[in-house]
């Protein structure tokens, strides 16, 4: 029986402004739609199971083997095996280092992809799955508004993918020079537009485009971070890490620096598929709505969100919280209103969360370097600090893996200031200065943007 996807808002009857979507869709539909018509998030109605034996078999095998194991479990009914094999081979052609820091404690570096952040893992696989299920003979056009890192991960992921073009919109004045270079020079089927105005303006332009009837013929799609197609690939590395590191039937603790909770959600699903995860540690930066919720049982989003040095985690209401609530039998909506609280006892059994200040983050970078000669950047350091806090509270001898979600060379100022050294850029980004390409400048007026799209987007293959 194939897995179907329902909306996290399906039970919200009698809530103003929401017409709950009570049906179910296929994975392909969920992938192309991004979110349900009631603005809820798609959830699989069954979670496929993996036996410990199947997981253990992945020891010593390439990453793409684990990727195939997990994607087959979810997608075998909707994609031919040959296609899935090709998808995972093309997506994962870079290393996934597991670095030993001290006995039984590891750092998994998810920073070796083309844009040196863990977002490459999800974006690359999603891009190839989308290419596989676009309407026959037609093109898909991806529109993304970005304030930086997501745009380049998505752009690089779709680069050269058959039948799909990508238009990235970013706010001219709000991206760093390195980010601008990354976005402008992807090339091929990926074009950047630099818009006058702020990130919110970009997001509004994209939103308007999606609802404009004249643009329907272009098959516009978002590569949104809440797409289940981006969650599924994030299950894989937890299973991979465990298979490589386990020595006997033991449990494992993962620490995942968290912003929108998509990464941590991958671990939650891995556990529910059968991975023996003793605890999912979810440290946040000073956006502490979730750790406070775990401590008090009362949820209140942080608004506006706080600007911390782990800037990819500056989120005051994590978009994937709705999925966590749903998995623990609660409901929260897009704006952060709780309609039903989840089972707190059950949640605390599997999840530990703590807020890490910028001061602690910087100290962690220094201590970890001094003690272990390991270089972390600020997101990974939040993860490490969270793990340390967890072991302070629950001292036990368990296998533990902390995720490093970006490459330290992406944050040269902070690393220079704290450690007095410069890190070379990873291979994937080494020649960035010599890369060519430029953005098209547009105003923040929708009619300009629409004219650009009508003139430049293609319909047929």
Ligand X SMILES: *Cc1c(COP(=O)(O)O)cnc(C)c1O
CA distance 166 to 153: 12
- Considering only 114, 259, 283, 291, the residue that binds ligand X (CB under 6 A) is 259
Torsion of CA 393, 394, 398, 402, to 10 degrees: -30
Is residue 106 helix, strand or coil? strand
Q: Which stretch binds ligand X (CB under 6 A): 53-61, 254-262, 267-275, 294-302?
A: 254-262
Q: Are strands 164-171 and 220-221 parallel, antiparallel or unpaired?
A: unpaired
Nearer Cβ to ligand X (219/255): 255
Q: Using CB under 6 A, which residues numbered 110 to 129 contact ligand X?
A: 117, 119
Site string for ligand X, 59-98 (x = CB under 6 A): ----------------------------------------
What's the distance, CA 152 to chain centroid? 13
CB of 50 vs ligand X, minimal distance in Å: 22
Which residues between 185 and 214 bind ligand X (CB under 6 A)?
Answer: none
Asked if residue 261 binds ligand X (CB under 6 A), the reply is: yes
Q: How far is it, in rounded angstroms, from Cα 229 to Cα 367?
A: 37
7, 146, 147, 405: residue in contact with ligand X (rule CB under 6 A):
405
Q: What is the largest CA-CA distance in the chain?
A: 62
Residue in the block written with tokens 């007095």 = 420
28 or 119, CB closer to ligand X? 119
Ranges of beta strands (E only) in 133-189 are: 140-145, 164-171
Provide, rounded to whole angstroms, the least separation between the CB of residue 263 and ligand X.
Answer: 4
Q: How far is the CB of 134 from ligand X (least distance, A)?
A: 26
| Token duo for residue 6 | 């329902």
Rounded CA separation 450/214 (Å): 9
230 binds ligand X (CB under 6 A): no
| Contact between 406 and ligand X per CB under 6 A | yes
| Helix 233-245 / helix 119-132 crossing angle, nearest 10 deg | 120
Q: Is 258 in the site for ligand X (CB under 6 A)?
A: yes
Considering the complex, state which of residue 257 and residue 330 has its C-beta at the smaller distance from ligand X.
257
The answer to whether 168 and 183 have CB atoms below 8 angstroms apart is yes
DSSP bridge pairs for 106:
100, 401
Cis ω before 250 (30° cut-off from 0): no
Span from 139-147, 257-265, 390-398, 424-432 in contact with ligand X (CB under 6 A)? 257-265
- Which residue lies nearer to ligand X by CB, 186 or 406? 406
Q: Is 149 in the site for ligand X (CB under 6 A)?
A: yes
**Shortest Cβ distance from residue 331 to ligand X (Å)?**
20
Residues contributing to the site for ligand X (CB under 6 A): 117, 119, 149, 257-264, 312-313, 379, 405-406
């Amino acid at each position: 029986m194939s897995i179907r996807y329902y909306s996290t808002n399906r039970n919200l009857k009698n809530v103003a402004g929401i017409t709950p979507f009570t049906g179910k869709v296929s994975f392909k539909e969920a992938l192309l739609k991004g979110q349900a018509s009631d603005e809820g998030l798609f959830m699989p109605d069954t979670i496929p199971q993996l036996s410990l034996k199947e997981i253990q078999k992945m020891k010593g095998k390439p990453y793409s083997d684990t990727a195939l194991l997990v994607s087959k479990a979810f997608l075998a009914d909707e994609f031919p095996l040959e296609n899935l094999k090709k998808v995972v081979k093309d997506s994962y052609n870079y290393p996934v280092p597991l670095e030993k820091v001290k006995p039984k404690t590891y750092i998994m570096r998810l920073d070796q992809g083309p844009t040196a952040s863990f977002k490459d893992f999800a974006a690359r696989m999603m891009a190839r799955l989308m290419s596989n299920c676009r309407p026959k003979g037609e093109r898909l056009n991806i529109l993304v508004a970005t304030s930086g890192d997501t745009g380049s991960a998505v752009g690089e992921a779709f680069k050269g993918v058959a039948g799909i073009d990508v238009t990235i919109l970013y706010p001219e004045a709000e991206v760093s020079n390195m980010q601008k270079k990354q976005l402008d020079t992807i090339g091929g089927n990926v074009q950047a537009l630099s818009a006058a105005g702020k990130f919110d303006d970009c997001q509004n332009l994209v939103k308007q485009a999606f609802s404009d009837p004249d643009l329907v013929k272009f098959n516009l799609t978002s590569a949104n971070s809440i797409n289940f197609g981006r969650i599924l690939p994030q299950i894989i590395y937890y299973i991979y890490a465990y298979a490589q590191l386990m020595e006997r039937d033991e449990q494992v603790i993962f620490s995942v620096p968290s912003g929108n909770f998509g990464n941590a959600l991958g671990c939650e699903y891995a556990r529910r598929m059968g991975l023996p995860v003793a605890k999912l540690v979810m440290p946040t930066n000073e956006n502490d709505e979730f750790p406070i919720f775990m401590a008090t049982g009362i949820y209140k989003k942080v608004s506006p969100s706080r600007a911390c040095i782990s800037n990819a985690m500056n989120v005051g209401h994590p978009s994937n919280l709705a999925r966590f609530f749903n998995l623990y039998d609660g409901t929260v909506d897009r704006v952060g209103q709780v309609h039903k609280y989840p089972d707190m006892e059950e949640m605390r059994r599997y999840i530990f969360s703590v807020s890490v200040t910028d001061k602690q983050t910087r100290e962690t970078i220094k201590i970890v370097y001094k003690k272990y000669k390991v270089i972390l950047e600020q997101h990974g350091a939040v993860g490490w600090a969270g793990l340390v806090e967890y072991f302070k509270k629950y001292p036990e001898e368990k296998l533990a893996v902390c995720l490093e979600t970006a490459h330290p060379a992406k944050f040269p100022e902070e690393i220079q200031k704290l450690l007095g050294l410069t890190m070379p850029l990873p291979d994937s980004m080494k020649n960035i200065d010599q890369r060519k390409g430029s953005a098209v400048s547009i105003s923040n007026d929708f009619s300009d943007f629409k004219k650009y799209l009508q003139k430049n987007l293609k319909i047929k293959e």
